[in-house]
Structure 1
């Protein structure tokens, strides 16, 4: 491969510093790189990009790029280029195209000190915003109102946006891991799961807490404490060099032994950064991946029982030479 056509927004931002990568493409050759975007971003791209910028209508981009790759093998991000875009590349560049995956992502997986500081800021803002929001979490409040207040508080604290659509899932809706926030009203004696995060300078935080509203049943308490203990065991096991598969297994085996194995369907965690889901993943599918110093990962076991409710407890940590450092600090405890 002699060149790479970069289409993923997070990869473009990582390589160039351009903060509107959804409307850009990047061509990286053996000797140079060019950021392509349109005239709406002329000033912004020139101010932000660390690589040369070419402003053009999209139908003219290939005219500029073609001479740079004539006779070369050009890789393209196969998981980010739809078929119509592939046809445009093929016809516009008139060269050999090779589908590639996971070329830039390993570089993004190990965070620099500056990136970690930004992630800490995002996590701190999210923590402060939830603290300001929690007094309204009581019987009679609608999930959607809690989510709206939480997002407003994050923006007041300095976030450019929420990191993703906030989940506030109460009662039986807690069995939906990504249930969003509905008009449902919180009732006494229920669990409420809140999954939220802040985006700061393009970087995302991610945290989940499950709260008891009033006195809950022994069944819900058992579910909660099982998840709490599973997360504690996984956090204690994380270290540089550990297999991601094994980290997932620590929590999964504990939850299974408690009788809830069928109700923990997702992976233990994922990396975060310029995207909310990055690699490496703490997953039962990640049999070869190992953690490295500088990886920033979530640890989020959960139990989701239909018609009963759900529990998830999530923290984001950075892998260090000696273990882990927490980025999220919202309090949690056994029930």
Structure 2
């Protein structure tokens, strides 16, 4: 079953208007390509892989379309004005931004806001025009909370991730044992085979794995971004982390851990600790908007410690990372669930406690949730069982 695509979200530029008023600035300028997630948020424009300029000035959002992309820009850009190449004398995006500022009578010595990561050549063109450049983090701040349309995009791609997870879990459940070695239809089962199975489902769903599919086995589960190919044996933890990106640019993020023929030792204790820790995080998130991100992490870590595992970023084993992070047009974005900030309604974060020991394996469970005014909505409803079972997931 292929997911129905969520409607493409738009961008409300009121936050830029407010920032310009507060900073007594005349305009905002950004230059980047489709791989720049701030630029993707501002323009909703999905191509090309070369820089183009965006300008917000006099209450209007302006996109300078790259050559050969005018039609696509007019179709995708939710702003007010698209300048085609024929409308611009300059070719360099920074120079084009200067032309737009001139067209809107932004004079020398007026303040123009830019992100800190504005390309150097664009900054030089703006500086040469005599405007006073000042940095702003307004775009990053705006991206922290998601609109209903953005949440729908995240929900859709997370659903695709769940269907891919069901394929991996079913594959493990159907595996046959030859001693401790696991096979599937006579072929040795490996992390790469499981990765291919997940990615095939994701491709069929119309989402891009973007090389983000992680399958760790045994000791390699302690490598949080393992990409290698190792055999899978009975009794070993198999950690599957899926982070596909939808055509709208939004990511999903889902992790489950399985063990075929679990012996009931370290892996079961670790799995129980991680489940209970995730529940502790959910208990804090039940407070809804205003809950402190750092409190969510503190209570999660305390639950892991109660099961006898080490915690802390400097620990060699145990719970060695933050409880979660923001997800949107970037796979990792603000806020972190260890930051000293209050979570606002519309914030989308992962909740992913884990326990790792290179001599034993690794266990992580990860859901994607959105904070609401009076609680949270879990965009994930995939089971958290340690022992793999055949799954039919729609």
CA drift of 1:252 comes to 1.4
Gaps of 5+ in 1: none
Structure 2 CA distance for aligned equivalents of residues 21 and 107 of structure 1? 24
Structure 2 CA distance for aligned equivalents of residues 334 and 148 of structure 1? 21
Larger radius of gyration: 2
Would you say the 8 A contact 1:126–1:197 is kept in 2?
Answer: yes
Equivalent of 2:64 in 27, 36, 47: 36
Q: What's the counterpart of residue 107 of structure 1?
A: 142
Structure 2 CA distance for aligned equivalents of residues 220 and 89 of structure 1? 57
* Residue 222 of structure 1 pairs with residue 269 of structure 2: yes
CA drift of 1:150 comes to 0.9
Which residues of 2 match residues 1-335 of structure 1 at below 5 A?
Answer: 1-7=25-31, 9-20=36-47, 23=50, 24-51=52-79, 52-56=81-85, 57-58=91-92, 60-67=95-102, 68=104, 69-71=106-108, 72-78=110-116, 80-83=117-120, 85-91=122-128, 93-101=129-137, 103-137=138-172, 138=175, 139=182, 140-159=188-207, 161-162=208-209, 165-179=212-226, 181-200=227-246, 201-216=248-263, 218-238=265-285, 239-257=288-306, 258-261=308-311, 262=315, 263-283=318-338, 286-287=339-340, 289-333=341-385
CA drift of 1:82 comes to 4.7
CA drift of 1:269 comes to 0.8
Pair 333,183 (structure 1): closer, same or farther in 2 beyond 3 Å: closer
Structure 2 CA distance for aligned equivalents of residues 162 and 116 of structure 1? 19
Structure 1, residues 201-227: CA drift from partner, whole Å, max 9, x if none?
221111111111222461222222211
Structure 1, residues 93-126: CA drift from partner, whole Å, max 9, x if none?
432111222x123322222222222221111111
CA drift of 1:49 comes to 1.0
CA drift of 1:245 comes to 0.8
Would you say the 8 A contact 2:28–2:57 is kept in 1?
Answer: yes
Structure 2 CA distance for aligned equivalents of residues 63 and 325 of structure 1? 44
Would you say the 8 A contact 1:189–1:212 is kept in 2?
Answer: yes
CA drift of 1:334 comes to 6.2
CA drift of 1:251 comes to 0.7
CA drift of 1:199 comes to 2.2
Structure 1 CA distance for aligned equivalents of residues 97 and 274 of structure 2? 52
CA drift of 1:66 comes to 4.8
Structure 1 CA distance for aligned equivalents of residues 63 and 167 of structure 2? 41
Query: Could you state the TM-score of these two structures normalised by the residue count of structure 2?
Result: 0.76
Structure 1, residues 162-189: CA drift from partner, whole Å, max 9, x if none?
265111011110001122x312111121
Would you say the 8 A contact 2:354–2:364 is kept in 1?
Answer: yes
SS class of match (2:69): helix
Pair 85,267 (structure 1): closer, same or farther in 2 beyond 3 Å: farther
Pair 250,66 (structure 1): closer, same or farther in 2 beyond 3 Å: same
Structure 1, residues 260-284: CA drift from partner, whole Å, max 9, x if none?
212323211112122222222211x
Moved more, 12-21 or 292-301: 12-21
Larger helix share, 1 or 2: 1
Structure 1 CA distance for aligned equivalents of residues 250 and 320 of structure 2? 27
Number of residue pairs matched? 327
Pair 196,329 (structure 1): closer, same or farther in 2 beyond 3 Å: same
Gaps of 5+ in 2: 1-24, 86-90, 176-181, 183-187, 388-394
CA drift of 1:81 comes to 2.8
